[in-house]
Chain A
Amino acid sequence: MNILELPNARKRGLAVQELPNEVLVYDLERDEAHCLNETAAAVWRACDGKKSVPEIASAVRLSLGEHVSDDVIWLALDQLSEHRLLEEEISSSFSGQSRREVLKRIGVASMVALPIIASLAAPRSVLANVSCACAVQSDCQLQPNCPQIQCLAGICSN
């Protein structure tokens, strides 16, 4: 993505829960949940498909009350894109640098918390949380703490 592109937050197929200083997003198409910290959430909210990255930085600055560099915005956009929370995928502006290197570089200078998006998959099977009961072998594989070896007589056993 270049600087002229206008990132647009995805709205379709998501359930959104606003929390104090965080946003929870559930992706209905992928059955994944994401937790956006305050900075990531502010960037996501500002992605209206009309603002450029510097304009998003201004909007986030207003919302958080602190200076926010373009690098911080790019870091957030990079993660939002990776988690499919933007309408269109963007390519990282940190080509040649790992996210760890970028975090190290901008983390020291940043006045705001760095954007973080944590994610987890939700189980699709209703038998995924039933004390190692199973109907078929795959039910045991969905319960990571069970012995998992095989579904014997209705219970995951080894």
Chain B
Amino acid sequence: MFVERIDGETILMTAKEKFLDYQIAGRPSFAFRSYGVRVHLTADDVDLLQTGIRVAKKALVGRLNEIDCSSQDADHRFSLHRSADGGFYIGDDGAETAPMADEIAFARLLNAMIRANVAAKAKRFVFLHAGVVTVAGRAIVLPGDSYSGKTRLVAELIRRGATYFSDEYAVMDERGMIHPFDRDLSLRPDGGHVPYDVRPEDLGANRGGGPTAAAMLILTKYEPGAAWLPERISLGQAILEIVPKCIGIASNPEFHLNVLHRTFECSIILKSPRGDTPETAKRILQAFYKLPAPKGSGRLI
């Protein structure tokens, strides 16, 4: 019996099954479905495939199911290779990356590529590059580019009692409900570029939960010395600003615009640059607690 441990899960496979797997596929392979997207992974060897599976599970926060799917039937294909000089490179639906000497860099890039391509090809979900926390079962959405201070603001909000949903994507369904994408927070050290993972539990927060409606949409970006002076902007202006942060919007803009409309049509939308992160988090939560309670909730928020 082959025993494979992948992210804490034990997969048992008989030697015959393993052998047949090779015979049929020619190369070790693994197919999965995530957010409706079928992805096919192949690798030069089993060890590399295991790395690929581990990375895929981490990239998609475990939200994938193994499926029986050929390369031809998949929506996206990755092939993982070892280069002649001992490095690695990735085949991405026919294109190839440059070789990387470092396995950590290889895993980091594969993680980003899997995440981005699933986000871009998901047909029933919209992936907005944003941090998300929830308070009393309602979401605060913080769209932002990389290096805009999004994760730091999310970290500060959860230190102050918010529940962690995501520091990467607001995943919205066709009803306009937001789903958690609760990977560990990816923080960068001051002045550094290589992120490190922080568990939200280590910041005293809970994570995840069911699909949640958006109560606030906050458009902000860190600017040294800036003060948090929010102004209300229209839904159209807000959607226009977040269009460039929607992954794969070009493939189905009608669906994306419709989902963005549904998600934020009842939200308070605020825009301001910000300086001090703790002060901004405090002010955002103060504004949140002044919101009227959602209809039918029977409580004040």
Interface residues of A (CB under 8 A from B): 15, 17, 19-24, 26, 28, 31, 33-37, 118-124, 126-136, 143-147, 153-158
Residue pair B113, A127 in contact (C-beta under 8 Å): yes
Query: Is the Cβ of B193 less than 8 Å from the Cβ of A153?
Result: no
Q: In the bound complex, what is the Cα–Cα distance between A143 and B245 (angstroms)?
A: 10
- Which of B102, B108, B148, B235 meets A19, CB within 8 Å? B235
- Quick check: B146 and A146 within 8 Å, CB to CB? yes
Least CB distance from A117 to B in Å reads: 10
Which residues of chain B come closer than 8 Å to A26, judged between CB atoms? 243, 249, 253-254, 256-257
Assess whether B270 is interfacial by the CB under 8 Å rule: no
- Give the A-B contact count at a CB cut-off of 8 A: 142
User: Contact partner of B246 among A15, A21, A28, A122, CB < 8 A?
Assistant: A122
Q: Is the CB of B253 within 8 A of A15?
A: yes
B237 at the interface (CB under 8 A from A): yes
B106, B108, B168, B240: most-surrounded residue (chain A CB, <10 A): B240
The verdict on A156 contacting B246 (CB below 8 Å), with A19-B235, A133-B113, A145-B148 known, is no
Interface hit among B114-122, B271-279, B284-292: B114-122
Interchain CB contact under 8 A, A154 and B193: no
Q: List 8 A-B contacts (CB under 8 A).
A: A28-B250, A118-B237, A121-B244, A126-B120, A129-B116, A129-B245, A131-B195, A132-B146
Q: Given A24-B236, A118-B237, verify A131-B146 contact (CB < 8 Å).
A: yes
Asked whether B98 is an interface residue with its Cβ less than 8 Å from the other chain, the reply is yes
Tell me the residues in window 80-96 of chain B with beta carbons closer than 8 Å to chain A beta carbons.
90, 92, 95
Take A123-B244, A124-B250, A127-B113 as given contacts and tell me if A133 and B108 are in contact as well, using a CB distance cutoff of 8 Å: yes
CA of A136 to CA of B98, assembled, Å: 7
With a cutoff of 8 Å between Cβ atoms, the chain A residues found around residue B65 in the complex are none
The answer to whether B105 touches A153 (Cβ under 8 A) is: yes
Could you say which residues of chain B place their CB within 8 Å of the CB of A120? 240-241, 243-244
Q: Other than the known A19-B235, A126-B120, what 13 A-B pairs have Cβ atoms closer than 8 Å?
A: A17-B258, A21-B236, A26-B249, A34-B240, A120-B243, A129-B145, A131-B186, A133-B109, A135-B90, A145-B146, A146-B146, A147-B193, A155-B105
The count of chain B contact residues (Cβ–Cβ below 8 Å) is: 53
B253 touches A131 (CB 8 A): no
Nearest neighbor of A145 in chain B, beta-carbon distance: B147
CA distance A155 to B146 in the complex (A): 12
Pair B112/A15 contact, Cβ less than 8 Å: no
A26 to B243, CA, bound (A): 10
Q: B248: CB under 8 A from chain A?
A: yes
A143/B145 in contact, CB under 8 A? yes
* Closest beta carbon of chain A to B3's beta carbon, Å: 31
Q: Are B97 and A136 in contact (CB under 8 A)?
A: yes
* From A26, A33, A145, residue with most partner B Cβ within 10 Å: A33
A146 touches B147 (CB 8 A): yes
Check B240 against A31 for contact (C-beta < 8 Å): no
Query: What chain A residues lie within 8 Å of B58 (beta carbons)?
Result: none
State how many angstroms separate the Cβ of A125 from the closest Cβ of chain B: 9
Decide: A122 and B250 in contact? CB cutoff 8 A: yes
Partner of B146, one of A23, A34, A143, A153: A143
List of A residues within 8 angstroms of B27 by Cβ: none
Q: Chain A contacts of B248 at CB under 8 A?
A: 126
Closest residue on chain B to residue A125 by CB atoms: B116
Contact B193 A122 (CB under 8 A): no
**Contacting pair A154 B112 (CB below 8 A):** yes
Asked if residues B147 and A132 are in contact (CB atoms below 8 Å), the reply is: yes
Chain B: CB-nearest residue to A22: B236
Distance in angstroms from B130 CB to nearest chain A CB is: 10
Question: For residue B127, which residue of chain A has the nearest CB?
Answer: A129
